[in-house]
Structure 1
Amino acid sequence: MRPSPVDASLPSLDETAERILLSAPDVGELEREYVLAAMRSGWVAPAGPDLHAFESEVAERVGVAHAVGLSSGTAALHLALVSWGVGPGDVVPVSTLTFAATVNAIRYVGAEPFFVDCDEESGNMSPSLLRQSLTHLRSEGRHVPAVVPVDLLGKAVQYGAITEVTQEFEARLLSDAAESFGSTWQGLPTGSFGDASVLSFNGNKVMTTSGGGMMLTNDEALAVHVRKLSTQAREPVVHYEHNEVGYNYRLSNILAALGRAQLTRLDEMIARRRSWRERYRNIFREHLGVRILGGEDDSQDNCWLTGIVVDPHSATFSARELGAALRLSNIETRPIWKPMHLQPVSRGIKGIIDGTSEKIFDQGLTLPSGSAMTEEQFGRLIAQITRVIG
C-alpha cells in the first residue's frame, strides 16, 4: 500500500498561517466609490438607477436583449421555471455534477429532476446521455418542458450539441451559467445560449454583488414576467393588487452599484485567474496521472476555479491526500461537487448515470483560484503542493 505523504509531514493544522481561500471576493477602492455614490443618491430601496444600469451593462456584454437583476442565481432559475409554467407532473433533466441550487429550483416548482451524467474531460452534461434521457422519458410518456445544463467551474457546456437535442425534443433550454460569466463557447458569451440563462454574483464567483444573480433572455415577455414576479407580482395599479403569487427576489440598487464596479474590472480579474490556471498546469504537467478538469484549452474559460483530477493508480498522491495536506496548512480546498444523485436529499430521484461524475468527485479537487490571491499566498500554496507531490 502506498504510504500517505500527509501523515508523516503535516500532523496538525498550522493555525499561525494566513488563511488562503478558494475564491475570496476581490473588491477595493473602486467598489467603495460606486457603493458610496449609490447610498448618497438615496436609492437604497431594491430598485434604482444603478440596478437598471447594471442590467443594461450585463445584457450588452453578453449580447442579449433583456437582463433582470435578482437576489441570487437560484432565484433566477426558480422564476424562469415558474414563468414557463413548469410544475407537478413535469420532468426536468439536469446536470448531476452541480451545486444543489440548480436542482433545488426544479423541486421548488414541484417538478421532478432527472439526473444526467457528464463527459470525462469537462464534467459538463453529456449530450449523448441527454439524448438517451429524453428518449427514455418520451418512451414513458413523460412531459419534459425544459433542460438545465450547468457550465461547470466556468467551462461552457457543448451548447451546439445540447441545443440540437433540446430542439429535437421540443424542450426549452435553461442555461445555468452561474459559474461561467465571462466565458465563451465558440466565441459567443455564456449567458447568451438557450431560451434563458442565469448568472450568479455570489461572494465567491468571478465577480460579485455580495449576494445576487441575474436572469438573461431575448424573450421580452419572459423578462417582464420574471421582473414582475420578483417584486411580489404587484399589478400596475395605485393600490396593492395581486393576481398571482410573487416573490421578494429583486436585487438591491446598492448591490447593483457594487456589481457595476466589478463589471469594469471583470476582464482583469479573469486574466488573474487564468494566470493561476496556467501556473497550476505547468506544475502538474510533468506528474503522471494528474490532469486539469476542463481539458487543455483554457482560452474560452473564465477559470473560476481550477480543478484537478488525480488517478490514484498512476499518480504518486491522491486528491484526498493533497487536499488534506493543504487544509492542514490553512489552505482551503474542496472536492469537485458531490453528484446530486448521491445526495441523501435526492434519494429516489432517477437519472441516466454512467459513473463519470462519481469518478470525478472521488478523484477531483478544486484549488485556490481567486483574483484577490496574492503572489505571496500563491507561492506558499505552491510550496505546500510541491511538498506533497515531490
Structure 2
Amino acid sequence: MTLCLTPEDEPPAEAGGSGEAVNVLPFRRPGAGAVARPRLHLSPPELAGGEMEALEETLRSGWLAPAGPIPKAFETAFEAVSGFGHALATSSGTAALHLGYRVLDVAPGDEVWAPTLTFVATVAPAAQMGARITFLDVSRETWTLDPELLRDALAQAAREGRLPRVVVPVDLYGQCADLDAIVAACDRWGVPVMSDSAESLGAMGRGRAAGQGARLACFSFNGNKIVTAGGGGALVSDDPGLIASARHLGMQAKEAAPHYQHETTGYSYGFSSVLAAVGLVQLRALQARVAARRAVFARYVAALADLPGISFMPEPAWGRSSRWLSVMLIDPERFGADREMARRALDEAGIESRPVWKPLHLQPAFRGARSIGGGIAAGLFERGLCLPSGAMAPGEQARVIEVIRRLARG
C-alpha cells in the first residue's frame, strides 16, 4: 500500500515555469531504498516503521475522533520530547498559534511583533484577530530575530507607550532563536514571548530543546516536517492554566453542562486519534531524523563549499540545528549565476528547491505594516535557496550537487 500525505501549513514550491504545484508527497519506507518518483522533493514525509500497525490498532479500538486515550498518549510523549510540562495537540501548527494568541489575550488593535523572515502562519492568526503586526529584522549570525534590535525597539516602544502584547520569535529551518536574550529583553517590559518552533523540533539552543524559555511554544507535524502525522500541531507551556484555557477553546469552548453551553466561542481544533497514532510512532524516530538531516547538510557543505560565492546557513556556537532544511546562499557575482538561475537549473533536472522565505514586510498581504529594519532578511531572500533535505540515497544527493557544480562551471 502506498501512503501519501498532503501538506497543509506549507505547500511545496511550484514547479519552475509550469505553475503546477507538487501537492502529494509519497512516504519513504525505512530500509527499502528510494521510492520511485518523478522528482526529488524538498522534504518528503518518511515512515519510521510501525505506523501501519498503530493505525490498525487504533481503528480496531474504535477511537477516531479527537478524544480518548491515543491523543492523550501523544501529548504525554510530546511533553517528554519537547521538555515542556504541558502539551495540547491540535489540528495544525496554525491552530496552535491561533490558540496561543487567544490565551495571551490578543485583541483588535494590539501590537504583535515577529521577525519578518518567516512563513505567513506565524502572524496570520493575529492579523485575522485584528492585531497590528510589526516586523523586525533578523541577525546575520542566526537568521532569527535579532535580540539587540528587539531590545532597542522595546525601549523605544515603552517611551512611546506602545509595547506589544506579545513577541513571537521564530526558529528558522531547524535553528533556534536566541530565546535567552529575547526573553530577557521582553521580561524587562513584561511582554510575553510565544515561540514559533514549527520548523525546529529536535533542535537545541543553549542546551535546551526548541522553544524552551518561552511562555508558550508552537510546533507543526505537517507533511514536510522532520516528524509528521500528516498534519497537526501542538501548543506547549509550563503553565498548566494556559494549556487548560487553550484546550477549552480548541474544543468549541463547551462548558461543563448536560446541554451545549457556551460562555464564549471556540474552535474545532482537535487532533484526531488516527493522526495521533501516526505521530506517536514518528516521535520515536526524532533523534535519528535529526542526525540524518545534519548528515545531509554536512555532505552539501563538503561537496560545495569550495565553489566561489557559495555559503550555507550558519550555526551559532550555542545552538545545534536540526537542519530541517539545508539552506545555501549564492553570491551571483562570484558564483556566476543567481539564486533563481540555480532553482531553475535544479527544476529542469527534476529536483525541487525553494527560495528562502520572502520577508513578510515585502508581502502584499502586509502592505502598510510597520517594519523595523529588514535589509538582512531581504538579502537572504534574494540569495538563499533551500535544497532537498529529507532522506536521500547517496546518488540522489549527488544529483543535486552535480547540477550546482555544473552551473558553476558553466
Q: Does 2:248 align with 1:228? A: yes
CA shift for structure 1 position 28: 5.3
1:77-127 deviation digits (Å, cap 9, x = unpaired): 111111121111211110100000001021122111100000123211101
- Give the corresponding residue for 2:13: none
- Which SS does the other structure have where 1:152 is aligned? coil
- Give the corresponding residue for 1:117: 137
Paired with 2:194 and 2:37, the residues of 1 have a C-alpha distance of: 43
CA shift for structure 1 position 382: 2.1
1:62-81 deviation digits (Å, cap 9, x = unpaired): 22110000011111111111
Aligned AA for 2:124?
A: N
- Give the corresponding residue for 2:113: 93
Paired with 1:299 and 1:156, the residues of 2 have a C-alpha distance of: 7
CA shift for structure 1 position 298: 10
Pairing 1:1-390 to 2, within 5 Å after superposition: 18-27=38-47, 29-295=49-315, 300-371=320-391, 373-390=392-409
- Give the corresponding residue for 1:3: none
Paired with 2:37 and 2:194, the residues of 1 have a C-alpha distance of: 43
Aligned AA for 2:408?
A: I
Contact 2:86 2:240 in 1 (8 A): yes
Contact 1:133 1:351 in 2 (8 A): no
- Which SS does the other structure have where 2:193 is aligned? strand
Range that drifts further, 121-130 or 196-205: 121-130
Contact 2:97 2:122 in 1 (8 A): yes
1:279-337 deviation digits (Å, cap 9, x = unpaired): 01112221232211133769711110011111222223322221110011111011000
CA shift for structure 1 position 377: 1.8
CA shift for structure 1 position 140: 2.6
Paired with 1:284 and 1:135, the residues of 2 have a C-alpha distance of: 43
Paired with 1:296 and 1:347, the residues of 2 have a C-alpha distance of: 33
1:168-196 deviation digits (Å, cap 9, x = unpaired): 12100000000000001011101322100
Aligned AA for 1:136?
A: Q
Contact 2:179 2:211 in 1 (8 A): no
- Which SS does the other structure have where 2:400 is aligned? helix
Range that drifts further, 76-85 or 331-340: 76-85
Contact 2:66 2:271 in 1 (8 A): yes
Paired with 1:206 and 1:298, the residues of 2 have a C-alpha distance of: 22
Paired with 2:181 and 2:319, the residues of 1 have a C-alpha distance of: 20
Range that drifts further, 62-71 or 26-35: 26-35
CA shift for structure 1 position 374: 2.5
User: Structure 1 residues 268 and 17, CA, compared in 2 at 3 Å: closer, same or farther?
Assistant: closer
Contact 2:315 2:321 in 1 (8 A): no
Range that drifts further, 86-95 or 224-233: 86-95
Paired with 1:17 and 1:177, the residues of 2 have a C-alpha distance of: 30
Paired with 1:290 and 1:380, the residues of 2 have a C-alpha distance of: 17
Contact 1:83 1:225 in 2 (8 A): yes
CA shift for structure 1 position 136: 2.9
CA shift for structure 1 position 148: 0.2
- Which SS does the other structure have where 2:333 is aligned? coil
Contact 1:91 1:112 in 2 (8 A): yes
Paired with 2:213 and 2:219, the residues of 1 have a C-alpha distance of: 12
Paired with 2:223 and 2:147, the residues of 1 have a C-alpha distance of: 31
Paired with 2:252 and 2:81, the residues of 1 have a C-alpha distance of: 29
Paired with 2:393 and 2:60, the residues of 1 have a C-alpha distance of: 33
1:29-54 deviation digits (Å, cap 9, x = unpaired): 41111122111111001112111011
Contact 2:304 2:401 in 1 (8 A): no
User: Structure 1 residues 124 and 296, CA, compared in 2 at 3 Å: closer, same or farther?
Assistant: closer
- Which SS does the other structure have where 1:389 is aligned? helix
Aligned AA for 2:370?
A: K
Aligned AA for 1:389?
A: A
Contact 1:92 1:112 in 2 (8 A): yes
Q: Percent identity?
A: 38
